[in-house]
Amino acid sequence: MNNYNPINEIVNMSDWPPEFVNRYIANGLWTNDTFGDAFQAIVSIMGDRIAVTDGKKNLSYNALNESVNELASGFLKLGLQKNDVVIVQLPNCIEFVEITFALFRIGVIPIFALPAHRENELFSFCLLTKARAYITADVIGGFDHRNLANALRKGFSFLDYVIIVGKDENEITLDSLRNSLVRFPEIIAQDIACFQLSGGTTGIPKLIIRRHQDYLYNVRASINACRFNKETVYLAVLPMGHNFPMACPGFIGTILAGGRVVVTRSAVAVECFDLIEQENITVTALVPPIAMIWLDAAAMLKPDIPSLQVLQVGGARLSNEAAKCVKPVLGCKLQQVFGMAEGLICFTGLDDSEELITTTQGKPMSSADEVRVVDDHGQLVPDGEVGYLLTRGPYTIRRYFGQNEANRTAFTKDGFYKSGDLVRKLGAYLIVEGRDKDQIIRGGENISIEEIEGILIKHATIIDAVIVGLPDQYYGERICAFILCKTIPPTANDLRLFLEKQGLATFKIPYRFEFLDQFPTTGVGKISRKELRQELLRMHLEQQNKKVI
Ligand code: J2J
């Protein structure tokens, strides 16, 4: 059993029923090529044009291709084989691009861990997949990943290799693997390209099987919707392992469209504004908390960044108020992106009306995407009413890897993925109203946290606001607001008066305000409501204990 590879069980499985496979192929959505083929094709067109930039370092398409081949050969010579799994945990860097395409080329399957993941997440990935290698950097954001590597090695005898990007005396370095060419295994469109991670804010991320055929379609449809082309210069700010900056269209989409990727390890507004100016960035992608900070900084600094045509914002709900500021403050178009690593991606269109761009989260990017909005009993709700989003399509998974329980609960019998998002339809467009678990029900009233947050950020001193519920024996839940301020915070009473003046119903006015210097975030930078809820409970219990004493 020692050589048992759990991946073998899914290698030849088709995740979609045959009638869907046939339809997606017949309609030209799924093609026979792989990421390796698509990359090769663009290399032969772009040649010596720059593909990736990191600081002063540039790699042309030809040079990137050479690196990819050398690394792919090195991984094979080291002993990795097609369908082995490796964990890749890296900061944004050129090597991220090289490694991704090298692994795609030889069918070694990366799990893209985010830099913020620690033992809990990595141990679970190892256990599920029997990962054979851990590819990381020595230190990321002040944290020494060699300690994590040691813990993994101790825990799992099957983890044969630790590969360090950068210099290291004791471990295998990536550079030492750059090797003369060997024969590559044959990779077909049905092979697994990578594991993406579910973005849920509870528990350990689940593994999402992305095959060349569906993931390549995901990238190509995104390129189409976002009009990426040879003139695109994409700034990779969000952690590149996440589905959004990776494949929607992200850095892979930029490369396959013949554009240039500029990577940065800093999301700090001034540093990014400088980079946008120096590198003539045309598009970048952010999560709302970072977008809000950029907007605030830009309002003061008035950066000179005319090259920036589009700011994509997704990953969490951007308030309509913040959405309306993007054009006047940053001088570029806003593109809202509502997506999930499990599949479905919605974009607002580049030519859509301001109204659609600032008040909706876009429409599904593929005509083959199927969307249903249903009530608690799975019955369709009338158009325009809020319900749970179910979706199915040519790049939306039908099951997770190694998650029997989640596979029973997260999908309907007819293969729709239950996203857990509460949405409202406006024609083909979707408006995200929250997540099922983020709703606040106070005294039987469903409270729209979006409405309260949207009003709070209109206050002159507030950068961002998050509403969470505190369990309460009388009301069921009470409304609490966490506030991030530019300057000295207003008092809770000021804010109550402000909300009242803005016309917010009395029962929606928060019972409690907490002022923080920063919000806890998930690995990709979304605000972690789960951690804020825990923090609130902790503060509440502390106060109760004080009262008892
Ligand atoms: C509200 N909630 C949103 C939005 C995602 C592009 C963009 C984002 C992701 C992503 C992604 C939202 N408004 N605009 O993979 O390719 C919440 C929803 C969704 C969950 C998915 C991409 N955009 N969300 O965020 O897998 O709750 O993917 O179900 O990390 O984020 O999270 P994740």
pLDDT, tens digit, 9 for 90 and up, residues 73-121: 999 999 999 999 999 999 999 999 999 999 999 999 999 999 999 998 9
| Residue with the larger pLDDT of the pair 200 and 167 | 167
Which of 219, 246, 340 for mutating ligand 1's site (highest number of atoms within 8 Å of CB)? 340
Q: Whose CA is nearest to atom 30 of ligand 1?
A: 199
Nearest protein Cα to ligand 1, atom 31: 315
- Which residue do the tokens 């119903």 mark? 505
Q: Which atom of ligand 1 has the smallest separation from the CA of 247?
A: 16
For 221, the enclosing helix (H) or strand (E) is: helix 212-226
Measured in Å, residue 9 CA sits from the centre of ligand 1 at 29
With a cut of 50, say whether residue 327 has pLDDT above it: yes
| Residue among 287, 338, 435 to mutate when testing ligand 1 (max atoms within 8 A of CB) | 338
* Domains of the chain in sequence order: 1-222 (3.40.50.980), 266-436 (3.40.50.12780), 439-548 (3.30.300.30)
Q: Tell me what pLDDT residue 372 has.
A: 98
Nearest protein Cα to ligand 1, atom 15: 340
Q: 123 pLDDT band (50/70/90 cuts)?
A: very high
Atom 5, ligand 1: which residue's CA is nearest? 315
**How does pLDDT run across 402-443, given as a tens digit for each residue?**
998 999 999 999 999 999 999 999 999 999 998 887 778 888
Q: Which atom of ligand 1 is nearest to the CA of 420?
A: 29
Instruction: Report whether pLDDT(67) > 70.
Output: yes
Tell me how far apart the terminal alpha carbons of the chain are, to the nearest angstrom: 58
CA of 338 to the centre of ligand 1 (A): 5
Determine the pLDDT at residue 200.
Answer: 63
Q: Which atom of ligand 1 is nearest to the CA of 250?
A: 16
The residue contributing the CA closest to ligand 1 atom 28 is: 340
137-148: average pLDDT: 94
Smallest CA-to-CA distance from 191 within 214, 221, 207 is with 214
Q: Alpha helix locations (H) across 311-409?
A: 320-330, 354-359, 404-409
**Cα of 547 to ligand 1 centre, how many Å?**
41
Compute, in angstroms, the gap from residue 365 CA to the centroid of ligand 1.
Answer: 14
Q: How far is the CA of 285 from the centre of ligand 1 (A)?
A: 12
| Ligand 1 atom at minimum distance from 435 CA | 27
Q: How far is the CA of 53 from the centre of ligand 1 (A)?
A: 27
With a Cβ cut-off of 6 Å, ligand 1 is lined by 198-199, 243-244, 248, 314-317, 336-341, 345, 361, 419, 421, 432, 435, 524
Taking 90 as the threshold, does the pLDDT of residue 220 lie above it? yes
- Residue nearest atom 20 of ligand 1, based on CA coordinates: 340
Ligand 1 atom having least distance to the Cα of 248: 16
Give the Å distance between the CA of 316 and the centre of ligand 1: 6
pLDDT digits (tens, 9 = 90+) for 21-41: 999 999 999 999 999 999 999
Expressed in angstroms and rounded, the spacing between residue 342 Cα and the centre of ligand 1 is 10
Residue linked to tokens 């230190």? 139
Angle of CA points 518, 522, 527, to nearest 5° = 50
Which of 60-74, 198-212, 318-332, 515-529 comes out lowest in average pLDDT?
A: 198-212
Q: How far is the CA of 162 from the centre of ligand 1 (A)?
A: 31
Q: Calculate mean pLDDT across residues 376-400.
A: 96
Q: Is the pTM of this model over 0.75?
A: yes
Q: Helices (DSSP H) in 27-170: which residue ranges?
A: 35-46, 61-78, 94-106, 119-129, 145-155
Residue 548 pLDDT exceeds 90: no
**Residue 543 — pLDDT band, cuts 50, 70, 90?**
confident
Query: How far is the centre of ligand 1, averaged over its atoms, from the C-alpha of 340 (Å)?
Result: 5
Q: How far is the CA of 267 from the centre of ligand 1 (A)?
A: 19
The ligand 1 atom nearest the CA atom of 313: 14
Query: Tokens for 59?
Result: 């790699």
Task: Give residue-wise pLDDT tens across range 262-287.
Answer: 999 999 999 999 999 999 999 999 99
State the distance from the centre of ligand 1 to the C-alpha of 197, rounded, in angstroms: 12
| Ligand 1 nearest atom to the CA of residue 522, by list position | 30
Q: Which residue has the tokens 């893209």?
A: 112
- Which ligand 1 atom lies nearest to the CA of residue 312? 7
Residue closest to 454 by CA, chosen among 358, 328, 314, 356: 358
What is the rounded CA–CA span in Å between residue 157 and residue 1?
13
Of all protein residues, the one whose alpha carbon is nearest to atom 21 of ligand 1 is 340
Band the pLDDT of 1: cuts 50, 70, 90: very low
For ligand 1, the distance from its centroid to the CA atom of residue 317, given in whole angstroms, is 8
For the CA of 197, the closest atom of ligand 1 is 26
* Average of per-residue pLDDT values in the chain: 95
Dist. CA 319 → ligand 1 center (Å): 14
Q: Measure the CA dihedral 54/59/61/67, to 10°.
A: -110
The stretch 222-232 carries a mean pLDDT of 98
| Residue whose structure tokens are 């914002």 | 313
- Concatenated DSSP letters of 95-119: HHHHHHHHHHHHT-EEEE--TT--H
Neighbours of 539 (CB within 10 A): 14
